[in-house]
Structure 1
């Protein structure tokens, strides 16, 4: 199982498998998806909060106003076929195509007429979210799976 491209630690994976050991396959999938959705929500809310704090309060665009495209394009979903979840940014018009540039920044570049062009300083909102919210997401994953298993067992 992967969240944001990181593998869940072995002990967390064993905990999840321990919770769902007596369930049928379709019930296991449902319980694990519930936990993954909880974990993905942790990353999504953490990323939104850090983005608001670091960039949306300050105007950085040429026109002096932020469009909020990056904030509005943040999304999460749970895979249907295999166990896993993804948290990221929608692409396309009014999307977050520039998320990597805001997160990691850009280097100075040569411009043929003016000599240099501006740089985008890295604010690391997404990198920090991934590093700082991982333990909380792992806990939410375990709690979400356990809660789903309890619901399924109470229904029987």
Structure 2
């Protein structure tokens, strides 16, 4: 029986990953764990390699998928907002356009702005504009929060 990638992480790497899921920056992770920013960055690089992620968004989504949340600890809070409507559902809560939902789905799958642009046949600048609009509508401040929101409301399926 093969062990999961999460089982290969050290205790410190698990701590870093749990803080990452909460949306903390490298600086805040370092302060919380009383380590240098460089050490936090090195831990993240090691985590990415071990779990097969390419960036913090993929790592955060992975951590949520496998339940890497401490005992008795609730899942990280998602900003208070109403779920995004499905493509065929009537709008409720923050109304994202069909294109914004498409951008958010790809973001939640870990695509970079460049790959989102290529996949949708739009410019990177347009992707950035859509992301700014999405962040404002759902109350996110960065792509990891937006990806976790998308997962929470079922846009990743």
What's the TM-score once normalised by structure 1's chain length? 0.29
The one of the two structures with greater contact order (alpha-carbon pairs below 8 A, sep at least 6) is 1
Structure ID, larger Rg: 1
Q: Which has the higher helix share?
A: 2
What's the TM-score once normalised by structure 2's chain length? 0.29
Q: Which has the higher strand share?
A: 1
